[in-house]
Copies of this chain bind each other. A is one copy, B any other.
Amino acid sequence: MIITLKKEAPEKEVEKIRKNFEDKGLRVNMILGEEFNVFGLVGDTAHLDDRAIMANEWVENVQRVSAPYKLANRMFHPEDSVVDVAGIPVGGKSPIVIIGGPCSVESEEQVTRIAEEVKDAGGCMLRGGAYKPRTSPYAFQGLGYEGILDMVAARKKTGLPIVSELMSIDKLDEFEENVDLVQIGARNMQNYDLLKACGKLSKPVLLKRGMSATIEEWIMSAEYIMASGNPNVILCERGIRTFEKYTRNTLDLAVVPIIKEKTHLPIIIDPSHATGDWKYVEAVSLAAIAAGCDGLIVEVHDHPESAWSDGAQSLKPLKFKHLVDRARPIAEAVERSVR
């Protein structure tokens, strides 16, 4: 960590700051500049708080040299983590997983029917929302536990592992028991109590990036789950919020090489929320695979025009199959395959 001190800092104050760091077991090196003086801290700085240091009136600037995450950091864990989802490996050199399913579970019949279509098209897991984070309190809030049971029934019928969103700590046991991959949504990426609770799960966690989260904050949220006891985290980019209006969000595909460089965790892409429009889903899905992602999670509905939520961004099964079919040669072109 590099700390810049104001040139006019009194020697007494500089000594106090230096001593403070040394008391924490850090070694302090100093550079005397013409306009500023600089401290270089050597040792484990992960527990230091940049902004707390900034609070000292004689400090001009603080710059972290090593990343603030440890468990997720590739530097300390050079091999790719492969996360097991009910027997399906995700990450590393494993085949790319394509997850499909409706935004909302509407009934056992609906989700089972769509699950079969997803499976036939080449999807290997089923997504479906039972608890729905909706902007409006007057919008459909999901079927709740009933929806989870509908998903379980669809899994029984098709064999597809199920992915669903957990919104609250009081449903933890329900998800532990029933769900194969527990999703934390964008709106809860910094709901730290929920992240800590996920550390207690034996099931893997799919952590979506927050709408305006930096990549570093997102990795720190993964670190929360990992530090709480659960190493099985899959990251999921779903677009960030920008000024652009033609898409619902702006898909940030540079995250793929960045996550691969900075962490050892798998990364999958959600093209449906990223674009908000089914017409653009296939193009960005192919792009995501070419960029090197480990999977896709795609909204699929057989009657989008009467879906209870997010129909506008859902692919019909035939279009989903088209996507999977086109994904295969792209995967091969980057020395991967589609599961």
Residues of A within 8 A of B (CB): 2, 4, 29, 31-36, 38, 40, 42-43, 46-47, 49, 51-52, 54-57, 60-61, 63, 65-66, 68, 75, 133-141, 167-170, 187-188, 190-194, 196, 211-212, 214-217, 220, 223-224, 227-228, 240-247, 250-254, 256-258, 261, 274-276, 279-280, 282-284, 286-292, 304-314, 326, 329-330, 332-334
Which B residue's beta carbon lies closest to that of A60?
B65
Which B residue's beta carbon lies closest to that of A131?
B193
Tell me, rounded to whole Å, the shortest Cβ–Cβ distance linking A311 to chain B. Answer: 2
Tell me, rounded to whole Å, the shortest Cβ–Cβ distance linking A75 to chain B. Answer: 8
Q: Which residues of B contact A245 (CB under 8 A)?
A: 214, 216
Please state if B31 and A40 are interface contacts (CB–CB under 8 Å): yes
- CB-defined A-B contacts under 8 Å, sample of 26: A2-B2, A31-B31, A33-B65, A49-B140, A52-B309, A55-B306, A55-B312, A68-B135, A135-B217, A136-B220, A136-B223, A137-B192, A137-B220, A167-B193, A170-B170, A188-B190, A212-B243, A214-B243, A214-B246, A240-B242, A241-B243, A257-B283, A283-B292, A287-B287, A329-B333, A330-B333
> Which residue of B47, B253, B304 contacts A284 across the interface (Cβ within 8 Å)?
B253
CA distance A326 to B220 in the complex (A): 33
Known contacts A253-B287, A279-B261; is-contact A52 B220 (Cβ 8 Å): no
The A contact surface, by secondary structure, is mixed
Which B residue's beta carbon lies closest to that of A252?
B250
Please state if A311 and B51 are interface contacts (CB–CB under 8 Å): yes
Please state if A51 and B243 are interface contacts (CB–CB under 8 Å): no
Please state if B63 and A2 are interface contacts (CB–CB under 8 Å): yes
Which B residue's beta carbon lies closest to that of A41?
B33
Tell me, rounded to whole Å, the shortest Cβ–Cβ distance linking A139 to chain B. Answer: 6
